[in-house]
Amino acid sequence: MAKTRTYKQLCPIARALDRIGDRWTLLILRDLHAGPARFSDLQHGLIGIAANLLTDRLNKLIDDGLISRQIGKHGAALYDLTETGKRTSDVLFELAVLGGRFPPQGETVTPGNFRSIAVTLGTACQRVIGPDTHFKAGFTIDGEAFNLTAKFGQAAMKYQKENAPDLDLETTYEAMHALTEGDMTFEKFAVGHCHIHVHTTGKEFELMALLTAALKQLQD
């Protein structure tokens, strides 16, 4: 059973922090917004977390109803967000915008955690998507496969391959990071730091329009 600590306050913010305020907890939720993950996947992306501490955090998140644990096709446990856990996307997005105002502290690991891209860019797209935007885009970022799906006024980015994309975009983690941090203009990114392969004519314009609007959310 995971250890439980509490602020012992009636305030709903304090009650939320009772569940997501421990160190590493929000980063675990961040990574699971990219899709289901094995224990080893999470540990690989969370540089510096001990196995016993990750186990403790996962068990507490399960106890609090924010994530679930299921057995995957090959017998390994898979962790995934519950419907309640998915509601943390806006919290994480706003933290990403706030964090973008501060420089990194000390030496950082590069490239960064690929899963962290999904919740920030996916939530930004969700905030600005219109009802007439429909596409399935494959993203390859330093060889890692993502997908961005837009349909019926909903947008989501996941850390998995899109098998039937309308278009594919190839880029690097460094370019994506610079773009979302506001250190690179979208025009510079589009011209010199990505390659787009179109399978359904016209969908590239829908993707570019959505990304342009989404990036304004991240950089405001």
What would the pLDDT profile of 178-214 be if each residue is shown by its tens digit?
998 888 999 999 999 999 999 999 999 999 999 999 9
For 169-198, b/e burial (b = at least 16 CB within 10 A) is: bebebbbbbbbbeeebeeeebbeebbeeee
pLDDT at 1 over 70: no
- Quote the CA–CA distance of 58 and 35 in Å, as a whole number: 15
**Tens-place pLDDT, residues 157-180:** 999 999 999 999 999 999 998 998
CA proximity to 114, closest of 165, 180, 50: 180
- pLDDT band of 3, cuts 50, 70, 90: low
pLDDT one-digit tens code per residue, 59-87? 999 999 999 999 988 889 999 999 999 99
Integer Cα distance of 176 and 195 in angstroms: 13
Does the pLDDT of residue 111 top 80, yes or no?
no
67-71/77-81 β-pairing: antiparallel
Which amino acid, residue 204? Answer: E
The reported pTM is: 0.93
pLDDT digits (tens, 9 = 90+) for 23-56: 999 999 999 999 999 999 999 999 999 999 999 9
d(CA 10, CA 14): 7
User: Strand 67-71 vs strand 154-158: parallel, antiparallel, or unpaired?
Assistant: unpaired
For the chain, list the domains and their CATH numbers: 12-87 (1.10.10.10), 116-219 (3.30.1050.10)
Contact 130, 153 (CB under 8 A): yes
- Which is more confident, 217 or 168? 168
Q: Which residues contact 157 (CB under 8 A, 6 or more apart)?
A: 34, 117, 118, 119, 121, 122, 125, 139, 146, 147, 148, 149
104 pLDDT higher than 90? no
